[in-house]
Amino acid sequence: MKVAVLGAGAWGTAIAVHAGLRHSVCLWARDPAVSAALSSHRENSRYLAGVRLAPAIEPTADLGAALAGADLLIIATPLSGLRTMARALSAVSHAAPAPVIWLCKGLEAQTMLLPHDVVQGEWPGVAGGALSGPSFAQEVAAGLPAGLTVASTDDAVALTTIAALHHGALRIYRTDDMIGVEAAGALKNIMAIATGISDGLGLGMNARAALLTRGMAEMVRYGVAIGARPETFMGLAGVGDLMLTCTGDLSRNRAVGLRLARGEPLDAILAGLGHVAEGVACCRAVRDSARQAGVELPITEAVSAVLFDGSAPRDAVAALLAREPRAETYSSMQP
């Protein structure tokens, strides 16, 4: 099998390293200089230092060469680059392209669209799906165990993804609830920023547990309102990714929250991060989408106030604590 990984950041490189254990892989980088460095040094020193690229991985900056003969396309750009990538693929792909999956998470900032809607808008009718779940790039590249979920309404997409990536230490499960998987991937990053703020303020493990629990309630409430199934949030793409992103030391979104709690300005945090923190980019879009749908997301509102409205982290926490009490029932998770 030939796998084309489109995007040479940390996660794209990690997926290429894993796929390269069994298959031939083209790792496409937009910048020819990056591709040349990957070819000569056999290492992504900027995003995944210390991980060697196997001989089965061929870096390239030629999109046509990467796509030629590919059995699976993996879009590994940030969400901000998904529309451009889908448009480019639509322009150069043949009438019956290989199945395509995307790794990015969030809602598009300008349109409030989930990734699958972005792709369909630029590439109508393509057979596609989302790959999501608890997975730090460094650990996947190191061959440590992980489980992911591929979400698609097309069986060929799910089965091709499983054939390409379900081996070694990586397990791939499947679902047809693409809305649920993508909504979970968007909101869990926001909850990780909130948890980082809580931890950074020294509010304790009790507060962290409460945030995780009520954060899950927000994820389900929002997801069900836009057409997801509630049980999807109990799986890898939901509670699994929530736990990892909110508590793991490698979490970029949690790191943003920790630094906000220390009083650092957001612009400086993002400039020094070196990677994309998807939770920042999509927080306003999730907030606005939920308001339009009439869904109450108090933690998302609090994080948005800190990120964009100048609210101090302690004031945002105080506002959450001042909310009126309510019963904790399953119905409280519904919109």
Q: How far is CA 191 from CA 136, 141, 256, in A?
A: 17, 25, 11
Asked about 105 being catalytic, the answer comes back as: no
| Paired sense of beta strands 2-6 and 24-28, if any | parallel
Taking CB atoms within 8 Å and a gap of at least 24, the contacts of 300-303 are 300/187, 300/190, 300/218, 302/194, 303/190, 303/193, 303/194, 303/197, 303/279
Q: Residues 116, 188, 252, 287: which is the catalytic one?
A: 188
d(CA 124, CA 141): 33
Residue type at 299?
A: I
For residue 21, the SS3 value is coil
Q: Is 200 exposed, middle or buried (0-12, 13-18, 19+ CB in 10 A)?
A: buried
Residue 14 CA, chain-centre distance (Å), reads 14
State how far the alpha carbon of 83 is from the alpha carbons of 11, 57, 116, 225, in Å.
18, 26, 10, 25
Give yes or no for a contact between 304 and 189, defined as CB atoms under 8 angstroms apart.
Answer: no
Tell me which amino acid residue 208 is: R
Rg (CA), the chain: 20
- Residues 6 or more apart whose Cβ sits within 8 Å of residue 216: 233, 238, 239, 242
The catalytic residues are 188
